[in-house]
Amino acid sequence: MKDKLLDLCQKLPADYAEVRIQESVSTNVAYAGKELEDIGERTGRGGCVRVLKDGGWGFATFNDIDRLEKYARMAVTQAELVGGTKFDIARVGPFQEVYRTHVESDPADVSLADKQQMCHRYNQIVLGNDRIQSSLVVYRDGRSKICYANSDGSSIEQEYVFCGALVGAIAVDGANIQRAFESVGDLRGFSQVTALDEDCEKAVKRAIDSLDATPVAAGTYTVIVDPKLCGVFVHEAFGHLSESDFLYENPRLRDMMQLGRRFGEDFLNITDDGSLEGEAGFIAFDSEGVPSSRTRLITDGVLTDRLHNRETAAKMGERPTGNARAISYGHPPIVRMTNTFMEPGETPFEQMLAETEDGIYAIGMLGGQTNMEMFTFSAEEAYRIRKGKIAEKIRDVVLTGNVFQTLANIDRVGSDFKMHGGLGGCGKGGQSPLRVGDGGPHCRIRNVVIGGR
């Protein structure tokens, strides 16, 4: 197969050509309340051809592998019809590589019945409290094998095994509805999801405790965010602004995201690293055959790099970073994050807390949205900080602001660090969910606008 794909790419009448063949197997189990809503195993097989010719991209996707050459010619025709100003892409390789995920406990060795029984156990724990009205338990695993070749001479095989689970508790008191979730998901194998009983109990307790929490008073606060919320902020509010396909097409954003611009203090460092084996966003090579890399987006408070595919790297005169990703053979690759995080600093959390006379401790995220440099995030759990100590629990904490002002207002970065994967994934350009990881330390931010009552 590898030789056939490579030969096809090199003989097509195009400036550049690539082909991906993908085979996948996945398992899903989902409970909503007492009902088993989804259970089953699914398989898929298909491929795509993408070509660049005279400034136009052509893309064809298919399930009939035996008719590959027909679809390759179709992609060439599309590129000719699109046309445009001729350009080149960054050239890398060629690479001849094989990568396979190595896990100690392969989910393929566990029966569907055992996976269902595990989820049933978690669901019973969540529903075992009278103040919990409903639950959510979701398990998913997937094995994906991708064969890739391009006209530059690369021929790459990759196989990934993902496994994750989510447990959620929903507590209700009249019109007061509170939710809490725990989630794991990465490339470390089935053992990661087999002992979530305590996580179920934590979710139940957080949801119930939030029923009795005091709604926060709207205002401007000093806020300490936990590693999970820090990671989500870095991914959603800053990471997407670093994706160069979006950046290249937006003059206003290009002006804001100029390399060399200072965004924060010297202790602020933000990185995207697809080479962290085992993490949810790990890739050996991206969907254009570029090796994954560690990209320091902000170094010592200054913008030093951004995320690229081969086209944006060439157009912007920068290096390809291995961030061209597609969720499946049915989609062309676009610039996406991998594992994005704030690097740890030097301040222990206890010191950070003790130095905060009055503020809010925000933990996790329930939801949010971004619009260019503006963001809004709802914390899953929050507490008031009074005289350097965690005080009463509060709820309805919504953080709103401008990402650039917020980065500049970070005055402490913790010495701790935690990465998080999970089942959610990232969405962009109609491609969702893409497995990614995010993380960071505790960090303290001045002058955060908090919506409340």
Distance, in Å, from the CA atom of 439 to the CA atom of 272, rounded to the nearest integer, reads: 10
How much is the pLDDT for 368? 80
pLDDT below 70 — which residues of the chain? Answer: 452-453
How much is the pLDDT for 452? 63
* Backbone phi and psi for residue 299, each to the nearest 5 degrees, phi listed first: -125, 120
Distance, in Å, from the CA atom of 61 to the CA atom of 333, rounded to the nearest integer, reads: 13
Task: Indicate the class that CATH gives domain 2-212.
Answer: alpha beta
How much is the pLDDT for 372? 87
Question: Using N-to-C axis directions, what is the helix angle for 2-11 and 68-82, rounded to 10°?
Answer: 30
How much is the pLDDT for 364? 94
Q: How many CB atoms lie within 10 A of CB 372?
A: 14
Parts of the chain belonging to CATH 3.30.2290.10:
2-212
Q: How many CB atoms lie within 10 A of CB 173?
A: 12
* Residues ≥6 apart with Cβ < 8 Å to 264: 298, 301, 407, 408, 410
How much is the pLDDT for 453? 56
How much is the pLDDT for 424? 82
Task: Give tens-digit pLDDT for 256-284.
Answer: 999 999 999 999 999 999 999 999 999 99
How much is the pLDDT for 244? 96
Are the beta carbons of 435 and 421 closer than 8 angstroms?
yes
Are the beta carbons of 182 and 203 closer than 8 angstroms?
yes
Distances (CA, A) of 263 to 109, 257, 377, 404: 48, 10, 20, 6
